[in-house]
């Protein structure tokens, strides 16, 4: 079995079945040594966490957002002498979140945040590093990917200063000021201790592999691979936010859309497909809300139907491939 099952405070969070469909353990089981031995005999993977771990991660995340808000303002004002030192708190949080037992929490939780500039920046930093880990890039590059994602939209602060706005920016690509890519590059280039790809990511994260992006219309061979990772993370988080054109979509819809973009040549499939497969694997047994208000649990995905899994609501199984009037909305 490839699915990982969560045990929170010693309580099993899902029903577990054998490959043949026989129930091994029921959701709500108070896990004892005998239960763990049973799962081990069937090669079932489990994830042990406590509620306080998730609460601590939420606090750390919110602290990172507030730190990012302060940092971006200082960078835009030219008041940061050593940017590498200034983002050290983010690296500490990133290391915590990239531990194996936190990857699931991170990939599920990020989409719940609104797409304010600061939350979006932190999310893209996390997601870029997560994708790097999924792709087995060198450890040193994972940290750089986090920095690239964290600072990719910093040029928007310059625009904010120009127009005198507070708070967030509309993130839809149709309406945003495309100057933010050049502004970000200018703010970051030459910053002490910052890897050269960080300003490059700020400049090129809206480029597309087929040449349809901006500011230069570069094609895949001219866009550094790590920047392409940030582009995927940025696109996914935008789609999961409430600020994109057309409104917020579910994480599974977002995954389906970036997969479609990879097939259309806009995003690199070597990045998108492993990321989407990771998301699909870890959304099994997650709680979802259907368009008719029912709340259920994802049981199974077919190979090519990300948005139409088999969902269990109580004792009823709903195949969204057949129930075309229903969809997952959250």
Q: Return the domain boundaries, the chain.
A: 1-49, 51-283, 285-330
d(C-alpha 4, C-alpha 199), whole Å: 37
Higher pLDDT, 52 or 150: 150
Averaged pLDDT for residues 228-242: 91
Q: Which residues of 241-272 are buried (b: 16+ CB within 10 A; e: fewer)?
A: bebbeeebbbbbbbbbbbbebbeeebbbeebb
Could you please state the CATH topology (level 3) that the domain comprising 1-49 is classified under.
Answer: Molybdopterin biosynthesis moea protein, domain 2 (3.90.105)
77 or 144, which is more confident: 144
- Rounded-to-integer distance, Cα 103 and Cα 282, Å: 9
- Of 90-94, 162-166, 189-193, the range with the lowest mean pLDDT is 162-166
Distance CA 134, CA 231 (A): 16
Lowest mean pLDDT among 40-49, 66-75, 107-116: 107-116
Beta bridge partners of 237: none
Query: 14-18, 221-225, 234-238: which has the minimum mean pLDDT?
Result: 14-18
pLDDT band at residue 76 under the 50/70/90 scheme: low
Q: How far apart are CA 11 and CA 249, in angstroms?
A: 31
Mean pLDDT of 285-312: 86
Cα separation, 242 vs 115, in Å, equals: 6
Residues near 205 by beta carbon (within 8 Å), at least 6 away in sequence: 152, 181, 227, 230, 231, 234
Tokens of 236: 């996914």
- Residues 194 and 64: their CA atoms lie apart, in Å, by 19
Kindly report, residue by residue over 26-40, the tens digit of the pLDDT.
877 877 878 878 888
Residue 300 pLDDT level (bands cut at 50, 70, 90): confident
Which fold does the domain 51-283 belong to in CATH? Hypothetical protein af1432 (1.10.3210)
Instruction: Please report which confidence band the pLDDT of residue 231 belongs to, taking 50, 70 and 90 as the band edges.
Output: very high
Helix (H) or strand (E) holding 23: strand 23-25
- What whole-number distance in Å separates Cα of residue 140 and Cα of residue 146? 10
Average pLDDT over residues 284-301: 87
Q: What percent of the chain has pLDDT over 90?
A: 34
pLDDT of residue 154: 87
Arithmetic mean of pLDDT over the chain: 80
Which pLDDT score is estimated for 161? 67
d(CA 115, CA 156): 13
Given a cut of 50, is residue 268 above it in pLDDT?
yes
User: What is the three-class DSSP state of 215?
Assistant: coil
- Tell me the per-residue pLDDT of 41-67, one tens digit each, with 9 for 90 and over: 888 776 655 444 455 456 666 776 677
User: Distance (Å, rounded) from C-alpha 106 to C-alpha 262?
Assistant: 23
**Are the CB atoms for 231 and 267 separated by under 8 Å?**
yes
Greater pLDDT, 105 or 18: 18
């Amino acid at each position: 079995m490839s699915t990982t099952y969560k045990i929170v405070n010693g309580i099993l969070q899902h029903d577990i079945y054998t490959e043949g469909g026989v129930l091994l353990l029921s959701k709500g089981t108070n896990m004892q040594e005998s239960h763990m031995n049973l799962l081990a005999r069937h090669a079932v993977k489990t994830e042990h966490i406590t509620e306080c771990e998730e609460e601590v991660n939420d606090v750390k995340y919110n602290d990172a957002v507030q730190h990012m808000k302060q940092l971006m303002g200082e960078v835009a004002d030219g008041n940061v002498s050593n940017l590498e030192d200034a983002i050290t708190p983010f690296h500490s949080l990133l290391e915590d979140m990239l531990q194996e037992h936190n990857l699931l929490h991170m990939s599920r939780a990020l989409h719940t945040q609104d797409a304010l500039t600061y939350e979006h920046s932190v999310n893209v930093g996390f997601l870029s590093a997560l994708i790097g880990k999924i792709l087995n890039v060198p450890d040193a590059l994972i940290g750089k990917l986090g920095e690239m994602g964290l600072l990719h939209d910093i040029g928007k602060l310059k625009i904010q200063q120009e127009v005198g706005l507070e708070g967030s920016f509309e993130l839809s690509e149709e309406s945003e000021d495309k100057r933010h890519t050049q502004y970000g590059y200018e703010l970051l280039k030459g910053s002490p201790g910052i890897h050269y790809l960080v300003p490059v990511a700020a400049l090129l994260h809206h480029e597309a592999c087929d040449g349809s992006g901006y500011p230069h219309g570069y094609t895949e061979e001219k866009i550094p691979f790590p920047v392409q990772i940030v582009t995927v993370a940025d696109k996914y988080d935008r789609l999961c936010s409430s600020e994109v054109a057309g409104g917020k979509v579910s994480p599974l819809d977002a995954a389906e859309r970036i997969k479609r973009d990879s097939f259309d040549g806009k995003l690199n499939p070597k990045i998108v497909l492993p990321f989407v497969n990771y998301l699909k694997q870890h959304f099994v047994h997650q709680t979802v809300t259907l368009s008719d208000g029912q709340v259920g649990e994802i049981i199974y995905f077919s190979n090519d139907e990300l948005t139409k899994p088999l969902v269990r609501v109580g004792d009823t199984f709903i195949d969204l491939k057949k129930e075309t009037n229903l969809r997952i909305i959250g």
